[in-house]
Structures are given as C-alpha cells and as structure tokens.
Amino acid sequence: MKVTVILFVAIGLCSLSTSVPIVGRGFNATIGMGDEYIPLAYKTAWYETQLDHFNFEVNESFKVRYLYNEDYFQNTPEKPGPIFVYAGNEGPIQDLWSGSGFWTNVMTQKHGALLMFLEHRYFGESLPFGKNSTQPQNIQYLTIEQAMADYGVFLGKFKKEKNLENSPVIIFGGSYGGMLAAWMRMKYPQVIDGALASSAPLLMFQNITSPYSVYEVVSKDFTDAGCGGLFAEGFRELKSLSNRTEYYDVLTKELNLCAPITNSDGILGVYQYVKYAMESMAQYDYPYPTTFNGPEPGSPVTVACERAIQAVG
C-alpha cells in the first residue's frame, strides 16, 4: 500500500532527526559557511524597559535579555560599523540565535558588524511578572506596540551610550519577527536604517490574503524537491480509506501508531498529523540542522522527499 510507505516516511522523519546534532553538514559552502555549521558564540546582557510605554501612570519596569557578539565589529570614525539586530519573536532568544546561521556566521563576519538578538517580552527569560507573567491580569502588556517600543527605545539609548550614533542599524527577522522588523523600520526610522523581513506574512490578514495560501507554499516546496505528487497521491488514498475498516489495522501497524485506528476520526488524525509534519518541515526548511522546533536535519523537505522516493522505488 503506497500511502502507508509514503506517510510513514513523513512521520518517521521525527525519529530520523532526533539524532542530528546542531553541529552538522548542510550549509552550502558557496555562501561562506563551509561544510560544518557551528553557531557563533554569544554573550548575554540585559536592559531595563518600561512595562507600559504608553501610559505614564504605570511606572514599573523589568529587564529584557539580549544576546550579542562583537568579535567581528569593525568601527572607525571614518567608516562606522553596522549594527545587525534580530527582532526577537515568540521564543527563547538563544534558540533563535542557533537557527540564524546566515546572520551569525556569514553576514556579521562579512560586513564587520556588531550582532544583537533582542528577546521579545514575555518569552524566554524576559518575563515582566516572573512565572506569573501569563496570568490573565498580567497579559495586557503583551502587545506588538509594546515590544516594538522596547526595541526602539533601547536601541536609541544603546547607540548614544556606546557612541555609535553614526552606525547604521539593520534589523531583521523571520515570520512574526520579520513582521516586527518591517514595522520597526516604519515606526522608528530615526533608529532603524534598514530592515530585512524574511517569510514575513505582512498581508496575512482577514479579507486580504487567502487563508489557504500557506498550503500552496508548502505544496510548492515539496513539489520543487521532487515528491509533491507522491504526497498528494498519498493523501488522496488515505482519504479514500476513511470508511474502509478492513485497512484500519494495517495502517495502525504500518505507521507504528501509538493507538489503533478504530474509526474515520483516526484516519483524520493521521491526515492532520502528516499535514502538520509537512507544514513544519517547509516552515523550518533551513539548510543546516536546527533544534528550536525540535531536532531537525538540514533541508528536511529534501530529506523527506529523498526517503519517500526511495521507499516507493
């Protein structure tokens, strides 16, 4: 049964990736990484920020974490060095650092930049109310505007205190972080000189962009890798088996499921699980191993396609 083989390959990628270390092959040497990717070392620092930037009756403040590396920073009065800033998004900042090899290991060194990764309020260790930060009464200060104000105010003060007022600031980010980067350039042009918004769904709002557009991107990713048709065929066959009870035990065994399929809802569960696996691999299709979405090998879509093609002969 072809569907069992194809979908087992997709699900089995998780077990494949668990043994892949963060140091590994995969980043193409043509962009300067060589065969081995070892994340650039960083130092940790903190800055004080207002709990509420827009209500002067709220005087509380808290500390926000950021990571930095200045080993390659080349700054002179004649040629001020650039400051590269990652607009932290929803996650611990050290995980985002380890998944951004193009900036940490290529761009920073190539351009002699000071590199900074700013953690987003309410994530990682930047918790305004400690372990109670996500309690309903405390969540009101978790907004895009407050996070952008954290970054804008801090960067302005940082440049002045470090006598780097002539150093251009280039902010970057991916997904929600990419949206923040673009909006920072719009909202704080006096601080931000340029922005790179990677995979940023800036127009992903109701009545502007189709909610199914993400699936078009995922499908294209697997099609470009050479196995989109196989997975499409697998999904069609799986759907056709939803009411074929004689295949439930076969699928349970072949897919090594934790619980047996006993009805059509079980088939739907497998369908959704594989769909999510494909979405995740396409979203985190980095050319080097990463761990911030669970351990994944470099170019996971390509790895999945190679195994799927091999499995069906």
Which pLDDT value is given to residue 30? 33
Nearest to 87 by CA among 27, 29, 174: 174
Cα-based torsion angle of the residue sequence 30, 34, 37, 40 in order, rounded to the nearest 10 degrees: -90
Which pLDDT value is given to residue 28? 36
Q: Distance (Å, rounded) from C-alpha 228 to C-alpha 240?
A: 19
Enclosing H/E stretch for 23: none
Q: Distance (Å, rounded) from C-alpha 298 to C-alpha 289?
A: 4
**Cβ neighbourhood burial of 237 (10 Å; 0-12, 13-18, 19+):** middle
Which pLDDT value is given to residue 101? 85
Residues of the chain scoring pLDDT < 70: 1-37
If you search the block for the tokens 């002969």, which residue do you land on? 313
Q: Distance (Å, rounded) from C-alpha 253 to C-alpha 311?
A: 17
Which pLDDT value is given to residue 136? 96
**Within 10 Å of residue 312's Cβ, how many Cβ atoms?**
14
Which pLDDT value is given to residue 2? 59
187-216: pLDDT as tens digits = 999 999 999 999 899 988 888 999 888 899
Long-range contacts of 249-256 (CB under 8 A, 24+ apart): 250/1, 250/4, 251/4, 254/1, 254/4, 254/5, 254/8, 255/4, 255/7, 255/8, 255/11, 256/8
Which pLDDT value is given to residue 53? 98
Mode of pairing for the β-strands spanning 61-69 and 43-50: antiparallel
| Alpha-carbon distance values, 132 to 90, 137, 286 (Å) | 17, 9, 34
Which pLDDT value is given to residue 99? 81
13-33: pLDDT as tens digits = 443 443 333 333 333 333 344
